[in-house]
A and B are shown apart, each in its own frame.
Chain A
């Protein structure tokens, strides 16, 4: 009964989204105020219906209603409650439902927080939002209904959630990522409605910026969570694999980052208009592409849990309509957008352009690397996979240039900057960075020369000097340094915070890629081995029973200089329902290094085990940096000018 109720709510949501797509738009065309104003209640209506449906789906999961096919396929009666709930998005149908639900949530947020927008704009925006929602609701209802029943003979118990997904990181990762993916739809519909109305001014950019930043924060944290999860759950100690679906989330992130910076130019200087619009369209298009790649099965990957050509065709058609339609609109309208302002080669505009070019090229290269096998296949050549070496090669080069420019960009004035003001800083900064980079590398590597580390750390110092210089320049006219700091705008702090996060993440990537070590060791009970500067003492393994698995848990004591550092208890689990074996690594997380131990195989009846030990220096910094970036993006939207527009209208 509850599942049927959910399905009815889903159908009602679709009916309302049909109205949401057309009524406000017709209102704009016919200048009918009443019709224009239907946008907001209809948006609310769609959201409420989808909420009811979502609760019904959640209820079916919570009470183990295995007559519902989706529940039977992705849940199990033994599953702990939090995983029963998260199994809602453990498969295709539920993930798509969550995707649409979040989309309607963003639409509702826009309708609530954009009271200051002109009526016509808001009506157009909500209508376009409605069209996107409608398209995906049709997809859900026609090809992937999560409420479908297995009757007359339902299975006695569910198939279980993939044990890889039974983890706190995976409870949070998909919703976060979807908040980001779908959040970019706001910038997209703002751009589309601006194209339709022909009103692309700096106000449009100012409205878009906070929304884009928030979506970007979710995206950043979502990707970081996924990387962190892969690190401790897959048991290999890797944190990025250039897997097609990872790339699918990374591409909109790169585009979104470019968009954030391009919006700044459009707002402050009224320039790059058509470029910014194009970026807004592309960012959301890459989000949609990500959804398509996961759902269609054109690329096989760890995420391909529901490859189905029917669904693939449907999404491809949906994408063609959305992306093709908006790019055609762009092609027709954009030539009319000319900005009269100009800038010189050495100015903030040109450095933001460098940023945009580098990020777009990176994104394009990731796209190329991801689709390479497909292209070769289609041309009838042998299928080749380019793999991590390809990505690592170009990505490190492009990011190095990006960081080089990143230190300078924020120090420049808009329009035109004199070379001589930065001559001294650039010369001293460059020499000092190279020297400090060398010292840090030499010291950490115990005298070993590693050029990659030297370059990477020098760039980090270089960017650090840039940030310090920015603070110095911006407090120059204040009476005291501290007094000056108080006067700086939140957006300034936001920018510096985010760029500082770049340093942290870069340090993490550089150090862990160059200094990580691992070793497989055979250990008898009571045996101790020396590895790096640590002594690992194996105390044996014993069986433990979890809620839905049985496991062997190893006990490992770690000493340094005869002092106990930590006790690690990695597990090797056997999940009851699926019989799947999982290795649960145990990690001593530290700011400077992680000690990472996972269990291999029991080797004989005496209790000897093969054990894998990893030492991962600075790996935490990769994720720590993303937190700084996110804080930065949030600080930036606390700026007074975003609040002012709302106050004036109120």
Chain B
């Protein structure tokens, strides 16, 4: 009986390994299976803008053109890596980004945009993460591809870099 205790570490590792495997398999599926919001309109919301607490942004007044809704935060290190790519895409290719500043502090967010350039044409301030919750945001960064009529076409989890942009995401954006 006592001997089996020595197998405990092996079982622990097995469990962790199984977790990794599951997450990786599931991850690949989430890339193929669209978000539950696919082809549905964005959830209703009314939240202030990052730069101006009095300006209320709603799902109805965001944009008439297709845009990318990018979930970001100053506490998110990957967003820092992604940020210059978004800026270049906005500048060079005219990609329209709307920011969703997620569970962040307004002052820090404004500082960050001042310091590292601002690729966003509008920026929603979601301090409590309520809109993030409705969108099913799993973490930052995450990007929703939204059509001109306000319906969601695609959701990208993780950072946007030139590789995945040129190989995949650009085509999705252009098809919006």
The answer to whether A and B assemble together is yes
Task: Point out residues on A near B: beta carbons under 8 Å.
Answer: 159, 162, 164, 234-235, 241, 243, 274, 278, 281-282, 285, 292, 296-298, 300-302, 304, 307, 309, 312-313, 316, 319-320, 323-324, 327-328, 330-332, 334-335, 371, 373-375, 377-378, 383, 385, 387, 520, 578-581, 583, 600-601, 610, 612
B22-69 with Cβ < 8 A to chain A: 22-24, 26-28
Q: How distant is the Cα of A331 from the Cα of B3 in the complex, in angstroms?
A: 8
User: Which residue, B9, B16, B159, has most C-beta atoms of chain A within 10 A?
Assistant: B9
Q: Is the CB of A241 within 8 A of B77?
A: yes
User: Which residue, A377, A578, A583, has most C-beta atoms of chain B within 10 A?
Assistant: A377
Q: Is the CB of B9 within 8 A of A274?
A: no
Contact of B23 among A243, A298, A332 (CB under 8 A): A298
Q: Is the CB of B115 within 8 A of A600?
A: yes
Q: Which residues of B contact A581 (CB under 8 A)?
A: 84, 87, 116-117
Q: How distant is the Cα of A282 from the Cα of B16 in the complex, in angstroms?
A: 13
Q: Beyond the given A300-B159, A304-B78, A578-B84, please list 12 additional residue pairs across the A-B interface where CB-CB is below 8 A.
A: A274-B6, A282-B9, A302-B80, A309-B28, A319-B17, A324-B13, A328-B7, A331-B7, A374-B19, A374-B20, A579-B87, A600-B114
Q: Is the CB of A328 within 8 A of B158?
A: no
Q: How distant is the Cα of A278 from the Cα of B12 in the complex, in angstroms?
A: 13
Chain A residue nearest in CB terms to B92: A579
Q: Which residues of B contact A331 (CB under 8 A)?
A: 3, 6-7, 9-10
Q: Is the CB of B111 within 8 A of A600?
A: yes
Q: Is the CB of A374 within 8 A of B23?
A: yes
Q: Which residues of B contact A296 (CB under 8 A)?
A: 20, 24
B71-107 with Cβ < 8 A to chain A: 75, 77-78, 80-81, 84, 87-88
Chain B residue nearest in CB terms to A575: B84
Q: Is the CB of A377 within 8 A of B24?
A: no
State whether the Cβ of B135 lies closer than 8 Å to any Cβ in chain A.
Answer: no
| A–B Cβ pairs within 8 angstroms, 22 of them | A292-B20, A298-B20, A300-B139, A300-B141, A300-B159, A302-B78, A302-B80, A302-B81, A304-B78, A304-B159, A316-B17, A320-B17, A324-B13, A327-B10, A374-B20, A375-B19, A378-B22, A378-B26, A385-B139, A578-B84, A579-B84, A581-B116
Say what secondary structure dominates the interface of chain A: helix
Q: How distant is the Cα of A387 from the Cα of B139 in the complex, in angstroms?
A: 12
Q: How distant is the Cα of A296 from the Cα of B114 in the complex, in angstroms?
A: 33
Q: Which residues of A contact B121 (CB under 8 A)?
A: none
Q: Which residues of A contact B111 (CB under 8 A)?
A: 520, 600, 610, 612
Q: Is the CB of B139 within 8 A of A373?
A: yes
Q: How distant is the Cα of A504 from the Cα of B75 in the complex, in angstroms?
A: 28
Task: Point out residues on B near A: beta carbons under 8 Å.
Answer: 2-3, 6-7, 9-10, 13-14, 16-17, 19-24, 26-28, 75, 77-78, 80-81, 84, 87-88, 111, 114-117, 138-139, 141, 158-159, 162
Chain B residue nearest in CB terms to A278: B9
Q: How distant is the Cα of A320 from the Cα of B17 in the complex, in angstroms?
A: 7
Q: Is the CB of A327 within 8 A of B9?
A: yes
Chain A residue nearest in CB terms to B81: A302
Chain A residue nearest in CB terms to B161: A305
Contact of B24 among A312, A319, A328, A580 (CB under 8 A): A312
Q: Which residues of B contact A583 (CB under 8 A)?
A: 115
* B56 shortest CB reach to chain A, Å: 26
Q: How distant is the Cα of A385 from the Cα of B141 in the complex, in angstroms?
A: 13
Q: How distant is the Cα of A330 from the Cα of B5 in the complex, in angstroms?
A: 11
* A187 shortest CB reach to chain B, Å: 16
Chain A residue nearest in CB terms to B157: A300
Q: How distant is the Cα of A600 from the Cα of B115 in the complex, in angstroms?
A: 5
Q: How distant is the Cα of A417 from the Cα of B88 in the complex, in angstroms?
A: 68
Contact of B114 among A332, A377, A579, A610 (CB under 8 A): A610
* A238 shortest CB reach to chain B, Å: 10
Chain A residue nearest in CB terms to B118: A601
Contact of B14 among A309, A324, A330, A580 (CB under 8 A): A324
Q: Which residues of B contact A162 (CB under 8 A)?
A: 81
Q: How distant is the Cα of A292 from the Cα of B111 in the complex, in angstroms?
A: 35
Q: How distant is the Cα of A492 from the Cα of B22 in the complex, in angstroms?
A: 48
Q: Which residues of A contact B88 (CB under 8 A)?
A: 578-579
Contact of B78 among A234, A300, A309, A580 (CB under 8 A): A300
* A317 shortest CB reach to chain B, Å: 9
Chain B residue nearest in CB terms to A307: B158
Q: A300-B158, A302-B78, A579-B88 are in contact. Are A335 and B6 (CB under 8 A)?
A: yes
Q: A373-B139, A385-B139 are in contact. Are A601 and B114 (CB under 8 A)?
A: yes
Q: How distant is the Cα of A285 from the Cα of B16 in the complex, in angstroms?
A: 12
Chain B residue nearest in CB terms to A328: B10
Q: How distant is the Cα of A13 from the Cα of B40 in the complex, in angstroms?
A: 55
Q: How distant is the Cα of A328 from the Cα of B3 in the complex, in angstroms?
A: 12
Q: Which residues of B contact A243 (CB under 8 A)?
A: 77
* A426 shortest CB reach to chain B, Å: 36
Q: Is the CB of B19 within 8 A of A383?
A: no
User: Which residue, A162, A285, A324, A601, has most C-beta atoms of chain B within 10 A?
Assistant: A601
Q: How distant is the Cα of A210 from the Cα of B3 in the complex, in angstroms?
A: 32
Q: Is the CB of B13 within 8 A of A327?
A: yes
Q: How distant is the Cα of A240 from the Cα of B111 in the complex, in angstroms?
A: 21
Q: Is the CB of B9 within 8 A of A316?
A: no
* A277 shortest CB reach to chain B, Å: 10
Chain A residue nearest in CB terms to B138: A383
Q: Which residues of B contact A281 (CB under 8 A)?
A: 9
* A483 shortest CB reach to chain B, Å: 48
Q: A300-B158, A383-B139 are in contact. Are A316 and B21 (CB under 8 A)?
A: yes
Q: How distant is the Cα of A570 from the Cα of B171 in the complex, in angstroms?
A: 40
Q: Is the CB of A324 within 8 A of B9?
A: no
* B109 shortest CB reach to chain A, Å: 13
Q: A301-B77, A331-B6 are in contact. Are A285 and B24 (CB under 8 A)?
A: no
Q: Which residues of A contact B115 (CB under 8 A)?
A: 235, 583, 600-601
